[in-house]
Copies of this chain bind each other. A is one copy, B any other.
Amino acid sequence: MKIYEQKVAPNARRVRMFLAEKALLDEVKFVEQDLQAGDNITPDFRQKNPLGKIPVLELDDGTYLSESMAICRYFEVLNPEPNLMGVTALEQAMIEMWQRRCEIYFMNQVGMGFQHTSGFFADRMTPVKEWGEECVKNAGKFMGLLNKHLAESEYVAGERFTVADITAFVTIDFARVIRMRIPEEMTNLKAWYERINSRDSAKV
C-alpha cells in the first residue's frame, strides 16, 4: 500500500498518527507530494483523487481511497484493535460527533483561516481575508469550548483515547500557522494536550 501525502499537512498527520496507534505505519509506503508546487492538482494526481487533495491511499490492487476519515475507517474495520472509532452504536456515534465537531469547527476553521489570511494557495483559490479572519475567531472560540468540555472528560470523546483526540491534537499543532497557541488560562486543554503529546504516535 502507498499513501500520497505531504508530511507537514495536518490531514496527512492525522492518518499517520492513526496508523501509528494501530502499529500499522510499516505496512504503508509514503510518497511525498509538493503541494506548493502543485503536485496534487496535476491531471495525473486527479486520476487518484479528482478533488486534488491529500492524503490518498493506494491499495495493492490500484484502488484509490481519499478523505482522511474514510482512510482511517478502512484501517479501523480491518484492524479493530486498538479501537479508535468506537464499539457500541452509542460509542461510535459519540466519537463521530466529537471528531466532526473538532474537524468542522476547529480544524477546518484553522485551515481556512490560514489559507484566506496568508494567500498560501492563491494560485488555485481566491483568498478572502475578511472570511479568513472570521475563521481564526471561530477556531479560538472552539478552543474555549473544548477547554470547558475537558473539565469533565479525560479525552475528547470520553474516558479513552480516540480518533477525536487525533483531530483536536493535530489541529492545535497546525494552528501555529495562524500564530494560535493554547492560552495559559485554558488549563484543562493544556493538560489534555500534554497527555496526548506524550504518546509515541504524536511524534510521527
Q: Which residues of A contact B (CB under 8 A)?
A: 50-51, 59, 63, 65-67, 69-71, 73-75, 77-78, 88-90, 92-94, 96-97, 100-101, 105, 116, 125-126, 128, 130-131, 134, 145, 149
Contact = CB atoms under 8 A, between A and B. Distances in A.
B97 A65 contact: yes
B131 A67 contact: no
28 contacts: A50-B149, A51-B101, A51-B105, A51-B145, A59-B90, A63-B90, A65-B93, A65-B97, A67-B97, A67-B100, A67-B101, A69-B100, A70-B94, A70-B96, A70-B97, A73-B92, A73-B93, A74-B89, A74-B90, A77-B88, A77-B89, A77-B93, A78-B89, A126-B130, A126-B134, A128-B130, A128-B131, A130-B130
Contacts of A78: 89
Contacts of A70: 93-94, 96-97, 100
A167 to B, nearest CB: 13
B90 A69 contact: no
In the A-B complex, list the 6 residue pairs whose CB atoms are closest, starting with the nearest: A77-B89, A74-B93, A131-B131, A70-B97, A70-B96, A128-B131
Contacts of A90: 59, 63, 65, 74
- Report how many copies the assembly holds: 2
Interface-central residue, A63, A70, A100, A116, by most chain B CB under 10 Å: A70
Contacts of A51: 101, 105, 145
B50 A74 contact: no
A66 to B, nearest CB: 6
Contacts of A130: 126, 128, 130-131
Contacts of A105: 51
B65 A94 contact: yes
